[in-house]
Amino acid sequence: MTHYRRVQPHERFDQALVTEAELDLASRFQEALRGSYPAHQIFGADAGAEGYTHEQKRYMWIFDPLDGVDNFQAGVPVWGMSLALMENYWPIFGLIHLPVTGELFHARAGGEAFRLRHPIRISDSDSIDEERLILTFSRFHRHYRTSFPGKIRNLGCTAAHLCYLAMGRADAAVVTNESFKDLAAASVIVEAAGGRIFTMEGEPFHAGDYLDGKKISAHLIATRAEHLDTLLSYLQRIG
């Protein structure tokens, strides 16, 4: 929040401020983790354990210090940070914090998902009408024509989109150009809330396939499995 208050809205993009904020947050996280769990691994900072182990290095933390960079820079309050924990490369915990709004989402794999202390679930409504909502990536209109009868919005922060899906505020979130680090925590929360991330071909998406850190150029859709076919039928890819 100290960095956020230094945002100058008239600046188109202050890369120096964004870089400083990300480095500061990453440094603070690494220092705190090393103090509490010195043997644990940090994604991107450590080589990582090879194969199955019962040692402490079986735990790897994935920290994304700033999701929604454009919002952060523009002074728009929808941005946040995410944190995930893997055990022997299996995701077991996810947490996303939106500091300006004070929202904190978290889940353990196989358990419930929460907003603060309140359990959350993806909407199970079968009706798709003009009051329903899909959250999308920027320039979505350049890639899709849609007959979706409800509302389509882009809030500029994938982590927030997926958390709002998880708590039933939206029926789906369409995402692209993310990485494993961006989706690690959100995927745990979405699944604990009763949803899943899919490819546009309708196949389950596995974030762990992108542990190499490369960008995920494919378009993905997160929703409840029962709603997938209906939602995909509303989307027509341009070209």
- Let me know: does 109 contact 143? Beta carbons within 8 Å: no
Q: Is residue 227 part of a domain?
A: yes
Domain boundary (72, 99, 120) is at: 120
What CATH number did the domain enclosing 157 receive?
3.40.190.80
Kindly state whether residues 111 and 31 are assigned to the same domain.
Answer: yes
Q: What is the pTM of this model?
A: 0.92
Residue 125 falls within a domain, yes or no? Answer: no
Tell me: do 90 and 148 sit in the same domain. no
Residues 116 and 15 in one domain: yes
What total number of domains does the chain contain?
2
CATH number reported for the structural domain that contains residue 82 in this entry: 3.30.540.10
pLDDT tens-digit profile of 83-108? Answer: 999 999 899 999 999 999 999 999 99
Q: Do 163 and 61 share a structural domain? A: no
Question: pLDDT tens digit string along 21-47?
Answer: 999 999 999 999 999 999 999 998 775
CA dihedral 197, 130, 160, 12 (to 10 degrees): 120
Q: How far apart are CA 236 and CA 157, in angstroms?
A: 23
- Domain coverage including residue 215: 133-237
pLDDT at residue number 216: 93
Q: pLDDT tens digit string along 48-71?
A: 556 667 788 899 999 999 999 989
Q: Is the same domain home to 116 and 8?
A: yes
Pair (90, 161) in one structural domain: no
